[in-house]
A and B are shown apart, each in its own frame.
Chain A
Amino acid sequence: MNAPESLFDATTLEVLWTRLRSVTDEAAKVIVRTSFSTLSIEANDYSCVLTDAQGNSLAQNTASIPSFIATLPATTRHMIAALGRDTMREGDVYITNNPWIGTGHLNDISLVKPIFLAGRIVAFAATTSHVPDIGGRIRSAEPREIFEEGFHIPPMRLLAAGVPDASLLQLLRTNVRTPDQTVGDIFAQASALGLMESRVQELMHDHGLTDLDALAAQLFSLAENAMRAAISAVPEGTYENEFLTDGLEEPFRFRVVVTVKGGEIHADFSGTSPQQPRAINCVLAYTYAMTAYAIKAALLPDLPNNEGMFRPIKATAPEGSLLNPRHPASTGGRAATGHYVPPLIYGALARVIPERLMSAPGSPLWIFTVAGVRADGKSFANVFFYNGGMGATAQKDGESATSWPSNISSTPSEIVERDTPFITHYKRLRPGSSGAGRFRGGLGQEVLLENRHDGPLPVVFITERLKFPAPGLVGGGEGALGEVIVNGKPLVDSRLQVILARGDTLLLRTPGGGGYGPASERDPAAIERDRRLGYE
């Protein structure tokens, strides 16, 4: 216990931390209210963070999705290093969408703003949000290098002492398909930063604080100790796991060695396949976010995020691998790789703490994109998401057709039919798709779409688990494979663009989640219920 420990008592600390978190939640509402991006709103694809003066996370908005764990504080520290603390002025806002510095793909634009009090930087506010378009190719796995993926903004000033960089904005507007919306969303983020700035200044005034250093140190050490204690409940040792995934011509290998020692967890992904000339590479920041998410959900789910909590968690992957690619790797579909990280880690830890874990879900997330030209000559582009079943746990069956580890809604069928030339013949649960077990996995879903567009309609998929199913845990069965079926025929390579003619049909069957424990131990009443409700 060091000196700062005694500065704030348990009630003052609780009050201050609650208020800091409410500042980030308030900022999140500003983003939701002012964003153009459907993704920001329907998928919570944004995040707001407050850091201390060094860029360590004090608070993150409650609904922030796992992809953004620890990314914004890292972005903030990159900004401090790249631009230099001495050059920072009141009213500055910094910007980047560099995947390695930011969140792993160009579509997420991150902003950072220094918060000053009495002429000194006392904190940073940072936000990131998925913009409607960033130029480059329409979302698919096809880009081979980042240069094909859109407009790339290195760490730089968006606002210098409150004045926007007109050249940057003009370049950006010129390079994206939706200049008003993309720029509008960036300024929505800037409003959120402004709100966080004034709220932090008010808070410091109300509580008579001249800096946040002592508060930060105390919060970090408490959270760090809690995470260390939680990790210490896991038997020390080295636990390995590996599996194959659909890959391209050849399957990809995912491998992890999880070392639990001295209250720390280290996930080393050595042995994972090399980076690929496709937009499915997952930068280390995203790999880390998925690792930290998996550990937190298993060991310390209730405590709000801060920097200290993640100090005992380390992730390493060989440079040039799928989970730590080098520039200029393309990364747009990083989720198709990164979403394998949590089940990979859970598979390793299953030997010691299966009761804390979840079997593999029917993720990564499925994405499909259509782009075309309407009869009236206007172009359109739509992105759809579909989720498989969640994995089972020691306590319950997996939820059917539910997003995990991400948290993205699928588009309602009525909206699909209103906004695109598709008609939906069915969108329903997929009976029999769950992994068997004492508790079964969640069901996948099946969606049959028919194209009613007259011209040729190109569609692009990012789908996973068409070849390798979601494994169960401790004797649970694997979930059903996903299937993509065009005009009644299974698609051979779902990563290639498909051109649909009018009347062509597209059947998507998302994968089921893995089961937990031997199926022979399933409660007969649950078996009877599954039969009655037609889940079998």
Chain B
Amino acid sequence: MTFSFTSSMIMAVLPEILLLLLGIIVLIVDLLLKEEKRRNLGWLTAGGLLTILIVSLLVARPSEAELVWGGMVRYDGMGFFFKMLFIFAAAMTSLFMMDHKALGHRGEAYLLLLASTLGMSLMASASDIIMLYLAIETTSIPLYILAGFMTGDDRSTEAGFKYLLFGALTSTVMLYGLSLLYGFSGGVTNIYEIGELVASGALAPLLVAGVAMLILVGIGFKVSIFPFHFWAPDVYDGSPTPISGFLSTASKAAGFAILLRLFLVAFPQISLSWSLLLAVMATLAMTLGNLVAMAQTNIKRLLAYSSIAHAGYAMIGLVAVSELGTTSTIFYLMAYILTNLAAFGIVAAVSHVTGSDEIKDYSGLSRRSPGLALAMLVAFLSLAGMPPFGGFVAKVFVFAAAMEANLVWLVVVGVLNSIVGVFYYLTVLKYVYLYRMEDEDEEKHPIPLSLSYAIALTVLSIGILLVGTLFAPWFGFSGAAAIALF
């Protein structure tokens, strides 16, 4: 077998190569800087990530989909689109991390963030089950450490521990499924070749369906969909807040990237056997997430349950098993990444000053920090699915895809759930805008925003508005990514 380099091989993994380089630079600069100046590593990481984003957009845009590196990685529009989302999310997260008292001045925290982003990028373009497993673990292991990063904090260590146990268990079950898939297919590990085998009937549908269920355990954990959601509230609650934001957005979207590629490329022929199951899982995730979120008094747990519900909404697009469905899921994830990153960023900014994540401590926020309250209004109304914000358009597309696939019952469930969602998002906003602090002296307790928070929240709020109003180009990008999948 001859092996030769082509330029597309390098271009296919250019973002990953640059991420690794940036990680090494961060480590070296970390050694050179004095302790009190290490906070600036956040600027370095965010700036480096934005540079990677721009460089990749300029030179590494894929034209024709192509399998490279021995079929391990597929150089296509879908992988590229997700990579850009992850790199953007990581840049925003590193800005949020700067002022965190346990993470901000620790170079290794930024390195772990970059390593995990690298894994996610590979997840987005992995087209081989070996690569897929390796990429999932490359994403997860740094996140386990980041979740338990505050070793002096009981809640954080517990979050890291729980995340590791659930993550290791579910990924092992998935791996067992992958090993069976490798055997049943007679030694084929490429997802696209497995898809052809399934289509030609060389693989018994029942066996494949069984294997798909095992694999679904691992991916279901990553996207925190019912019934693999129970880790999410605990882990989001205990982790450092910027990391919770990263877990609930980029990590979830990476899970969806794999879910889309695996189920729509390898198993579309047996979609009858899994689409109903996924629809039921989406229904239960939405219902449970929204109902339990109503009872929460801690805002991080509220956002965790809401993120379970949002995994359900995004799943609707996949259940439709169509091009519009895939497009709508990708669009939903984009809007969701912007919105939820903003939400967790605001929580991080508030708890940095007040030291509390309780919803009642958000009373009078609109007087303590009007800018923060405005960003919160944008983020929460977008989560609730109100026009003119991104969350509204995303929900419309997902429901449209389900209608097109004749899944009227799923749309009804989704719409009813959105209404429940509006209730608890507005409850939080009621504390922010209508309630006041106990002795009504908000002027004496301002919440100052550092430059990094201000920049990140401004970018995210503008992003939410852009996706919600000028949605045509974004929908075009998502559509191009969805077509590139097949």
Q: A and B: partners?
A: no
Binding site for B on A (CB under 8 A): none
